[in-house]
Structure 1
Amino acid sequence: MQKLFNLCFELEFYIKIAISCAIVQQAFYFLLNNIEINFITQVLLYWLVGSISFYGIGFLIEKIKTNDVWREKLNARVKKVKKQPFPSFTVKGIITGEIKAFISALIILYLAPEVHRGNSLLLNLGWFLMRIVAADLCFYVSHRLFHTKLLYKIHLKHHEFSDSSSFVAGHKSLLEYIIVTLTDVLPIFIFGYDITQLCAWSFIGNAYNLEGHSSLSIFFIPSNFHDLHHTSFHGNYGIHGFWDRVFNTLNPTTKKPGIMFPVSLLEYKSIKSSLSNDRTI
């Protein structure tokens, strides 16, 4: 039964990402379907969606964390760590980051073949489900390599923090940024891109990445999975726990039951019911 709960718990994350991406893709398709978009406009759109969603969602999450009631209610962190001051935003840092993001968008769209996939909700749902499973595997492989003796120095900047903030998601060395970006878009180079899908993926990808570094369980992140990685520096290399379970690198997580995480809630109620029955025997 526990293995079934674990499998459903990990699949729930993938399905939630796929459904969210498919819904957002529909919105972009509605906005862009009757507009002729040239290459430069696509680059600008992809870059703007990524940048605006990164800062917008990040500041929203950090605003939630300033509210004591919501922070306590949504907190996913179990193991306490010493609080750390996080890097402050600077004009130079923001400009440098946006230059990197724009150049990445330009290179990705220049090299990847464009494919128009339309707005079939079912087909897009299937595409995004494949996309998140593949992206998780690619990230797992690259991230695990970052923790080898050969490459760990590339990754040390990101691991300056045991405590975590949503914007730690973007705190990387230039080389790590390039490698992570390449692994994330590898399926796009293989299968081609549809600009509406790409924008939806960028938006939702920022949402779960920022939430995953915030120590909160709001919508996508149902456990302290990534908190444990920042605490121990070992294990939990994927976006979520599926590939870590497959390759036996999973640090057992504490799941956050709640209405947004039905599998965790069902498991929690099942365990609670089982304990109650044991006491009555």
Structure 2
Amino acid sequence: MIFFNLCFEIEFYLKIAISCTILQQIFYWLLHNVELKFLTQVLLYWVVGSVSFYSIGLFIEKVIKKNDTLREKLTARVKKVKKQPFPSFTAKGIIIGEIRSLIAALMIVYLAPEVNRGNSLLLNLGWFLMRIIAADFCFYVTHWLFHRKFLRKIHLKHHEFADSSSFVAGHKSLTEYIIVSITDLLPIFIFGYDITQLCAWTIIGNAYNLEGHSSLSIFFVPSDFHDLHHTCFKGNYGIQGFWDRVFNTLNPPTKKSGIMFPVASLENLTIKSSSRLD
């Protein structure tokens, strides 16, 4: 069981790192002969992040969830909660969100050290693997603090929803957004950044964040890990369960097996085989 739990978390990290590496190669192919100055890098990073956030979120909500067969097959939520109406998009909300995103992109590109890593597959895979593990740890610590009494009010806006929808991922107070953005800087300060890596990271980061709040297991999210966090308001503070296992704050999720989640499928087969032998 411990072995499968470890493999379960490694599978998530590897999916993120490999997906980011593939996308980084595409961005490198498109941009390696182009001289990108500071402002161009900021605008590129911002546009890629914003377009991917809305397009992935709308695809999940308006395409996948509208298909009854897909929604039923991919639903990760096990513990049912009362359905809630989610806030509708407004021009004011979108504009404020985009200003926040632009400022965050400006901060990251201005403050973090730039390192040109080229198109080395191993170097970029290693960077992304370290990046997701470090980002998960930073997020775990910050998120755990948000659930302590002295910071809880900052986080309550995000927890207006026990039921969850993709765009709840961006439903935060301004203070929380600033703190999370600063936290996201820390791994980049440690490892430096390449603009092609940042563009790849923001797309994949949006993908797993939106999926994690959608109550679906599509590709990256292998359980109802984050659904349980919104339902119970405690435990499961990380992006995925590794650091929660380490610090004993895990609210055990129900794993989603299937072709996209081979570790959970293999664990199920092993349990079934053992029960037959017994």
Using structure 1 for the length normalisation, give the TM-score: 0.97
Q: What does the per-residue CA deviation read over 1:82-133, in whole Å, with 9 as the maximum and x for residues that have no partner?
A: 0000000000100010011001111211111211011100110011000000
2:39 corresponding residue in structure 1: 40
1:128 corresponding residue in structure 2: 128
CA distance in 2, matches of 1:31, 1:205: 21
CA distance in 1, matches of 2:43, 2:254: 40
2:89 corresponding residue in structure 1: 89
Q: Helix, strand or coil: the match of 1:105?
A: helix
2:275 corresponding residue in structure 1: 275
1:153 corresponding residue in structure 2: 153
Q: Helix, strand or coil: the match of 1:239?
A: coil
Q: Report the CA distance between 1:261 and its aligned residue.
A: 0.5
2:109 corresponding residue in structure 1: 109
CA distance in 1, matches of 2:227, 2:30: 37
Q: Is residue 2:248 matched to residue 1:248?
A: yes
Q: Is residue 2:184 matched to residue 1:184?
A: yes
CA distance in 2, matches of 1:68, 1:272: 29
Q: Helix, strand or coil: the match of 2:238?
A: coil
Q: Report the CA distance between 1:4 and its aligned residue.
A: 0.2
> What does residue range 173-212 of structure 1 map to in structure 2 within 5 Å?
173-212=173-212
Q: What does the per-residue CA deviation read over 1:68-87, in whole Å, with 9 as the maximum and x for residues that have no partner?
A: 11000000000000000000
Aligned-pair Cα RMSD in Å: 0.7
What letter matches 1:172 in structure 2? Answer: K
CA distance in 2, matches of 1:106, 1:148: 30
CA distance in 2, matches of 1:242, 1:81: 26
CA distance in 2, matches of 1:211, 1:92: 25
> What does residue range 10-21 of structure 1 map to in structure 2 within 5 Å?
10-21=9-20
What letter matches 1:97 in structure 2? Answer: G
CA distance in 1, matches of 2:190, 2:129: 16
Q: What does the per-residue CA deviation read over 1:223-266, in whole Å, with 9 as the maximum and x for residues that have no partner?
A: 00000000000000000000000000000110000000000000
CA distance in 1, matches of 2:234, 2:41: 39
1:28 corresponding residue in structure 2: 27
What letter matches 2:2 in structure 1? Answer: K
Q: Report the CA distance between 1:274 and its aligned residue.
A: 1.7
Q: Is residue 2:52 matched to residue 1:53?
A: yes
Structure 2 residue ranges without an equivalent (≥5):
none
CA distance in 1, matches of 2:68, 2:133: 35
Structure 1 residue ranges without an equivalent (≥5):
none
1:222 corresponding residue in structure 2: 222
What letter matches 1:39 in structure 2? Answer: F
Of 184-193 and 171-180, more deviation after overlay is shown by: 184-193
Q: What does the per-residue CA deviation read over 1:205-230, in whole Å, with 9 as the maximum and x for residues that have no partner?
A: 00000000000000000000000000
1:169 corresponding residue in structure 2: 169
Q: Report the CA distance between 1:191 and its aligned residue.
A: 2.6
Q: Is residue 2:118 matched to residue 1:118?
A: yes
